[in-house]
């Protein structure tokens, strides 16, 4: 899926139906950032790869696979963003979640 935009930013992955709390997002990973577009495509949020301190994955038996990003806030403290790979419309998303973890980890190691 890798492609490059006019600014030289490389698109690596894209995922639909990612939830944070009760909001559904489309998630885009580039070589510079994680971009979250809300389901209505009215707002977006950027997480710079350099802001990510740690990435972990989890799956609870009765829950969706998830990625936990530990991110530096503007105030300098660390907060967690939990990205749930909703299985409501797509079943068995552990492999997709694992691919995201591997790609973000590789970007963190190359920083």
How do residues 34-63 score in pLDDT, each as one tens digit? 999 987 767 789 999 999 999 999 987 778
64 burial via Cβ count (<10 Å: 0-12, 13-18, 19+): buried
Distance between CA atoms of residues 89 and 104, nearest Å? 24
What six digits make up the tokens of 16?
């639909």
All structural domains of the chain with their residue ranges: 3-110
Distance between CA atoms of residues 43 and 4, nearest Å? 22
For 60-106, write each residue's pLDDT tens digit.
Answer: 777 899 999 999 888 889 999 999 998 888 788 999 999 999 999 99
4 burial via Cβ count (<10 Å: 0-12, 13-18, 19+): exposed
4 vs 46, higher pLDDT: 46
CATH number (2.30.29.30, 3.30.565.10, 3.40.640.10, 3.30.70.100) of 3-110 reads: 2.30.29.30
């Amino acid at each position: 899926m890798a492609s490059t935009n006019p600014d030289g930013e490389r698109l690596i992955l894209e995922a639909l139906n990612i939830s944070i709390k009760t909001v559904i997002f489309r998630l885009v990973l580039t070589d510079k950032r994680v971009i979250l577009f809300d389901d209505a495509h009215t707002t977006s949020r950027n997480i710079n790869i350099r802001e990510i301190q740690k990435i972990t994955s989890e799956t609870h038996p009765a829950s969706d696979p998830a990625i936990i990003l530990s991110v530096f806030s503007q105030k300098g403290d660390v907060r967690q963003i939990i990205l749930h790979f909703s299985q409501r419309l797509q079943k068995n998303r552990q492999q997709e979640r694992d691919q995201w973890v591997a790609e973000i980890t590789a970007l963190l190691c190359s920083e």
